[in-house]
Amino acid sequence: MFDDAKKPLYPGCKKFTKLSALVRSYNLKVRYGWSNTSFSELLSIISDLLPENNKIPTSLYEAKKTLGALGLSYQKIDACPNDCCLYRKEYANSTKFPKCGLSRWKINKNSTKESRGVAAKQMWYFPIVPRFIRMFKNLENAKNLRWHAMDRNVDGIMRHPADTPSWRLIDHMWPTFGSKPRNLRLGLSTDGINPFGDLSSNIVVGQLQKKNFDGKQEHGNPPQPLSREAIYFKLKEMIFSCGKKCGKNNNEGGNDYWKRRSSFFELPYYKNLQVRHCLDIMYIEKNVCMNIVGTLLDISGKSKDGMNSRLDLVEMNIRPELAPMVIGNKTYIPAACYTLSREEKYRFCKTLSEIKVPEGYSSNIRSLISLDDLKINGLKSHDCHV
């Protein structure tokens, strides 16, 4: 790889090396979604266009052999189709998971026989340590990774996570860790999953007592919210079923409130963290935006102003002018002050479709808007920001 980084693309070339030309070309392939076949043909044409004795690969296969040294390693781990287990450690040599009984191998639909060696499901695991090493190999990145300890201005003003009480707490409880500038602190992302399953504050209290709808206690003392650590110790001895189709939890007493035990609690420092969860402002912005737009345009499935919402108003005895009206055998929802006419919806959608932003700032919003159906679909966070 280092030889390719110094080797001119062709004799006398001073602008590109073999590696830099290949990286730039492959970057274009990934950015614009070129197929493997088209990229191979492009490399072949470029090779013919360049002077003789050029070093550009003539196929994707050759390009990948060169770029392989730039990549980071990963491991493919066979998994149960029911998500019961990973075939590693004690299950490394198993052919089926003993609890659900599903085969580890893919079943041929025509012959109904197992394809030995072809896993029915796999997980791609990217070890984190090689990535840390890779980050420190770059001088600029290494400087930035140590900035909090070497160059940060400590003046009592909060500008960086290192200025927060949570950071200082870790330094106080684990001084050896905090004393090394090269130690890394990670922000754990749980994008798209709920680390505590289907639990809510109502369920947490519901294990201890129940409430009537009028707010009175059926029995017991006023509810006391459980801390996260208390929840962990409450669930520590419980046995939870794993996988998609493994039935109910194997806990005595018929306790179905708790679906799983968060593995985050097993981290030795997790119970001491002052801030365990942070809110993503872009996702909040997207959710609020989509709810407002869906309601204004009355998009089916996305509007928050439906029959159930109007019935809630009736139950709460507020805004009687918005209560559903029964005329004959049909029930109608009266128009609200924010209900748009078709002309107003068209002007709204047309205005959005004509928005122009710098390249790469957001999606092509015009392609997400239908002026015929007066609907907006597929908005991303950056689109909602626009």
3-state secondary structure the chain: CHHHHHCECCCCCCCCEHHHHHHHHHHHHHHHCCCHHHHHHHHHHHHHHCCCCCCCCCCHHHHHHHHHHHCCCCEEEEECCCCCCECCHHHCCCCECCCCCCECEEECCCCCCEEEEEECCEEEECCCHHHHHHHHHCHHHHHHHCHHHHCCCCCCCCCCHHHCHHHHHHHHHCHHHHCCCCCCCCCCCCCCCCCCCCCCHHHHHHCCCCECCCCCECCCCCCCCCCHHHHHHHHCCCCCCCCCCCCCCCCCCCCCCCCCCCHHHHCCCHHHCCCCCCCCHHHHHHHHHHHHHHHHCCCCCCCCCCHHHHHHHHHHCCCHHHCCEEECCEEECCCCCCCCCHHHHHHHHHHHHCCCCCCCCCCCHHHHEECCCCEECCCCHHHHHC
For residues 295 and 271, membership in a common domain is answered with no
Domain assignment present for residue 357? The answer is yes
Domain assignment present for residue 186? The answer is no
Domain assignment present for residue 12? The answer is yes
For residues 344 and 307, membership in a common domain is answered with yes
Domain assignment present for residue 331? The answer is yes
Domain assignment present for residue 41? The answer is yes
For residues 305 and 381, membership in a common domain is answered with yes
For residues 257 and 291, membership in a common domain is answered with no
pLDDT of residue 211: 33
pLDDT of residue 325: 93
pLDDT of residue 6: 83
Domain assignment present for residue 268? The answer is yes
For residues 263 and 300, membership in a common domain is answered with no
For residues 6 and 66, membership in a common domain is answered with yes
Give how many domains the chain has, as a whole number.
5
For residues 146 and 170, membership in a common domain is answered with yes
pLDDT along the chain (386 residues), means of 10: 81 88 89 90 91 88 79 83 88 84 80 70 88 89 92 89 89 91 81 50 34 37 56 76 63 58 79 78 90 92 91 94 92 92 95 91 91 91 92
For residues 320 and 349, membership in a common domain is answered with yes
Q: Which domain holds residue 27?
A: 2-70
pLDDT of residue 243: 72
Domain assignment present for residue 30? The answer is yes
pLDDT of residue 194: 53
pTM assigned to the model: 0.55
pLDDT of residue 144: 93
pLDDT of residue 296: 93
Domain assignment present for residue 185? The answer is no
